Structures are given as C-alpha cells and as structure tokens.
Chains A and B, each alone.
Chain A
Amino acid sequence: MKIIAVIPAFNEENRIEAALLALAPHVTEMVVVDDGSNDRTVEMARKTPAHVLRHFVNRGQGAALQTGMDYAVHVLGADIVVHFDADGQMNPEEIQEMIAPILSGESDIVLGSRFLGSTVRMPFMRRVILKLGTWLTTVLSGIAVTDTHNGFRALSRKATEEIHISLDRMAHASEIIDLIMAKKLRYIEVPVTIRYTEESLRKGQGTLGAVTILKDFFKGRFFDGL
C-alpha cells in the first residue's frame, strides 16, 4: 500500500525541512511541489528524501496540489494521497487516523477538521472567518462539513481520479467539497490538530484573504466549462 504525501510549498525555507523529516516515517513517499518560491525552499526540501517538483511561476496552492497528485498517482503509483502542509502546522502522527477510513473501505476521501479536533492558539478572527467560510460552502454546495478550508486530507486512488482541481488559488478547498458532491464520493471528517505558531500566522491567509478566496470561488463557477 503506497501512501504518498503531497506537500505544496511557497516560501517555506525555515520550516519545510523539519516538517518533511517529521512526516517521512508516516508515509511511503513525499512529493513536494515548490510553487515558484523566491527563497531556498527547494534547496531545503532536497535535503530530505522527498521528490521535489518545481512550478517555475507561482500558480497557487490549488495548482500545486494538482501537480503533486498527478505525480504521486501517475508516476509513483500512489494508492492513497495525503494532502499535507509544509509549515509544520499539522501533526503527521494523525495520518494513521486520516487514512484508516480509506483502508477499511469506508470512505473515498477523508477531510481533516480542526473544529472536531483541537486547535492550539487559533486567533479569534481566524475562527470567525473559517466558520463563515464553512457555512457558505454548506449553503452553496449543499454539503455539511465542519471545516472547509482545512488542508489536511486523505484521498483514495479513486478519489484522485475523480477530483481535478481547476481553481489555482485558495478557493480549491471549496472546489474539492463541490466535487465530492458532484462525483458522489463517500467522505468522512476526522478530527485533527492544527498548531498555530506566530510564524505560520504571519505568513498564512490574512482576514482579507477570505475575500480573495470568495472571489476566486465565484469566478470558478462563472468560468466553469472554459
């Protein structure tokens, strides 16, 4: 059983090496997709056993995830793909719980939820915005998940074949939820821990980022079929 982690990375030189080394024992292989970083992310990632792919122009996290999935499935022959972050916010030990429903044949896709699980030091505004985003996804997609914009996911091979991310930037999270509905995939949410550190907060999505995600999401619906 090949479990391959796909890690999109953008300017993560300080954190990626540690994150990958912590992740390595929990997966079969790792695929890092550097999304046009202008720091030493690639160099740092190459110090680890991970496969390192490079977008020479920044195309956004959605695009990087799709590149990583294509490589993991079609080149490395993954049975399960795990979406993981490069910044050390996620706990690799939870991968076992994330993939369990796929191994048992219960689900095609497993979504991590920090609202079912625990969060360490989540700022109040972040919580409000994530809740709003999740509520909006429920309204638009007709699917009730507790944490839409959580980047921790596990996908069976079947799910990777059905899900093709076309929204380049952050709105891909809502797109994945949309696709779960459209393709009638079996999904389950599993509680995960997201650890907020000062550095990850500084770099992460600001409050204004939520507006951009919303804009991209509607644009995606508008331009669907192009």
Chain B
Amino acid sequence: MIFQALLITFAFFALAKTYRQYAHRKVSLYWSMVWGMLWMILIVVACIPETTDILAQYVGVEKGADLFVYSSIVILFYAIYRVIVRQEKIQRELTELVRQIAIHEAKKK
C-alpha cells in the first residue's frame, strides 16, 4: 500500500514537472506528451496492478512484473549498444579534431 502511494505521488509530481517544462518551452510538445503518457500509465498501473497481467498474458508472459523485468533488460541492452556506437563515433571525431588542429597549428608557423 505504501509503495503504491509513493509511486502515485511521484508520478503526479513528475507529471506536474513535465507540464511545467512544456509551459516554459523547455521540451517539445511531442516529448512532453510521451512523458505525460508514461507517467499516466504508471498511475494506472499503481492503482490497478492487475492491468499489467492482462498485457503480460496477451504477449505470453505469466505476470506483469515479469514482463516489466524482461522488457527492461532488452531495452537496457539496446541502450548500451547505442551508447557504445555513439562513444566510438565521438572517439573518431575527437581524433579528427586533434589531427586537424595539429596540421592547422603547423601551417601557421
């Protein structure tokens, strides 16, 4: 019960924050909608946890909580892959930058 209450309070807080950021034009309408939806789903799930089981059974997983853990792992793996690719790209760009500066400095002399 306490966990549910905490979750709902947090979600409302986040929802308000998202709205405020949108109002101050810090995030686009698109992203404020995405985040807003996410927090609202969280509120629904916190109030009626059984809803996740329906979805879980629909995709062939027994419990909602399990579905959550499984999908989290998949998403995390993908996120790490993206980070590695990005990091590699930044490394190459850094090399290019260092190289160009070296040549530029030498030309000045």
Contacts and interface: CB of A to CB of B under 8 A. Distances in A.
A223 B88 contact: yes
A55 B95 CA distance: 9
Contacts of A75: 103, 106-107
Given A223-B88, A226-B85, A226-B92, A59 B105 contact: no
A166 B99 CA distance: 12
A55 B102 contact: yes
A223 B95 CA distance: 15
B103 A166 contact: no
A70 B88 CA distance: 23
Contacts of A56: 98, 101-102
Interface string A51-67: 11111110110010011
B88 A67 contact: no
A110 interface: no
Contacts of A55: 98-99, 102
Contact of A219 (B88, B89, B103, B107): B88
Contacts of B92: 166, 168, 226
Contacts of B75: none
A135 interface: no
Contact of B99 (A51, A67, A226): A67
Contacts of A54: 102, 105-106
A52 B88 CA distance: 28
A71 interface: yes
Counting chain B residues whose Cβ lies within 8 A of the other chain, the interface size class is 10 to 19
Contacts of B101: 56
Interface of A: 33, 51-57, 59-60, 63, 66-67, 70-71, 75, 166, 168, 219, 223, 226
Contacts of A66: 99
A166 B88 CA distance: 12
B99 A59 contact: yes
Contacts of B106: 51-54, 71, 75
Contacts of B98: 55-57, 59, 63
A70 B99 contact: yes
Contact of B102 (A33, A168, A223): A33
Contacts of B107: 75
Nearest to A67: B99
B102 A226 contact: no
Interface string B15-31: 00000000000000000
A66 B92 CA distance: 13
Contact of A168 (B85, B89, B95, B105): B95
Given A226-B88, A226-B89, A59 B94 contact: yes
Contacts of B85: 223, 226
Given A53-B106, A54-B106, A168-B92, 11 more contacts: A33-B102, A53-B102, A55-B102, A57-B94, A57-B98, A67-B102, A71-B102, A75-B103, A166-B92, A223-B88, A226-B92
